[in-house]
Amino acid sequence: MELTTFWFATIAVLWIGYFFLEGFDFGVGMLLHPLGRNDAERRVMINTIGPVWDGNEVWLLTAGGAMFAAFPNWYATLFSGFYLPLFLILLALIFRGVAFEYRGKIDNPRWRARWDLAIAVGSWVPAVLWGVAFANIVRGVPIDANGDFTGTLFTLLNPFGLLGGVVTATLFILHGANFLSLKTVGDVRQRANRVAQAAAPVAVVGGGAFLLWNQLERGSGWTWVPVVATAAALVIGTIAGRRELEGIAFIATGVAIAGAVISLFGSLYPDVMPSTTDPAYSLTVENASSTDYTLRVMTGVAVVMTPIVLLYQGWTYWVFRKRIGPQHLPAPPRPFVHS
């Protein structure tokens, strides 16, 4: 396998890791108000992802860094052409991260309500816009002979791109609901299971339509495999959720997310960003890549560091593996009183 192909596949794996892990983070944030009926229940929901959400975002940094180092022309065109949606994603992630840290700093209902809103908005915006962005990457955008994006924001708001946003938001809601069913007890668990059952048919229909549309227009013979696997995983997850097999349901939605990403990247290859202006202007794994020396150095670093990161993150999930409920929350600190 050539190094350009290896790094294209590696970047796809990094995005799978990000959407699998950060996907349920987004889902929890999106469901914060529908499922959390009071402050204690919302604290439970936040605490399910509290030890891991920032580690999950490392996958985004690594995926972006790998794109920059391995395919600088792809990175440059993507981040200039998709500047506004990516900027909105960045702002949402910043406010969401600050909200996790600040909501408990002051014992005031209005204070917590504002930060809870920031968590919800900071989860909804990336969940939708990532779908819009990746749908347009696969569909193609106007690129000229210099590799410059020549469209506008409205270029990205096409039916395929908007459907991609609906699909990712729905998948993340389903993934987050399954995660909460797996990680909580009591009322939150039961509500999360009901939300998962309601979201599953929408995910099956929407995700199926999106992947079938992409497959018929851009797919190859082998990419039918992840399309079928995605559909099967969603059906299996729905059945498992109804039988309260939360672990199987959560794994199934994770497999569905992985299958969807593999399908999209598989239909994209060997392009990394097709041009709708002229196919000759498309960015490919060859004309967008770094030098062979750069790719060899990156490969050596990845071989050494990746197992360490995976072991550490796996250990983190093992330590915080137990279910939690309002009864497990620590008592809020007593307010300071001047003597």
CA terminus-to-terminus distance, the chain: 72
pLDDT tens readout for residues 204-249: 999 999 999 999 999 899 999 999 999 999 999 999 989 889 999 9
Token match 């227009």: residue? 217
Q: Do the domain assignments include residue 104?
A: yes
pLDDT tens readout for residues 240-255: 989 889 999 999 999 9
Q: Which of 236, 244, 231 is nearest to 203 (CA)?
A: 231
Domain count, the chain: 1
Residue 284 and residue 2: Cα distance in Å, rounded? Answer: 14
Q: Do the domain assignments include residue 215?
A: yes
Residue 85 and residue 66: Cα distance in Å, rounded? Answer: 20
Neighbours of 185 (CB within 10 A): 15
User: What pLDDT score does 94 carry?
Assistant: 94
Q: Do the domain assignments include residue 7?
A: yes
Q: Which helix (H) or strand (E) holds 45?
A: helix 39-49
- 8-state DSSP, 213: H
SS3 at position 295: helix
Q: Which of 270, 320, 274, 307 is nearest to 52 (CA)?
A: 320
User: What pLDDT score does 231 carry?
Assistant: 93
pLDDT along the chain (339 residues), means of 10: 91 95 96 92 93 91 93 92 93 94 89 94 96 95 90 90 96 96 93 94 94 93 95 93 92 96 95 93 93 93 89 89 83 53
User: What pLDDT score does 16 carry?
Assistant: 96
Residue 94 and residue 74: Cα distance in Å, rounded? Answer: 25
Entry field: residues in the chain = 339
Q: Do the domain assignments include residue 335?
A: no
Q: Do the domain assignments include residue 258?
A: yes
Question: Rounded to two decimals, what is the model's pTM?
Answer: 0.92
User: What pLDDT score does 335 carry?
Assistant: 47
User: What pLDDT score does 336 carry?
Assistant: 47
Amino acid at residue number 208: G
* HSE of 331, CA atoms in CB hemisphere, 13 A: 3
Q: Do the domain assignments include residue 327?
A: no
**Which CA distances in Å does 185 have to 57, 98, 194, 210, 314?**
26, 27, 14, 34, 23
User: What pLDDT score does 30 carry?
Assistant: 96
Domain with residue 70: its CATH number is 1.20.1630
Q: Which helix (H) or strand (E) holds 72?
A: helix 72-81
User: What pLDDT score does 338 carry?
Assistant: 47
Residue 188 and residue 212: Cα distance in Å, rounded? Answer: 34
Query: Whole domain around residue 209: which residue ranges?
Result: 3-321
- Helices 3-30 + 292-319 axis angle, to 10: 30
Buried residues in 9-30 as b, exposed as e (16+ CB within 10 A): bbbbbbbbbbbbbbbbbbbbbb
Q: Do the domain assignments include residue 24?
A: yes
Q: Do the domain assignments include residue 336?
A: no
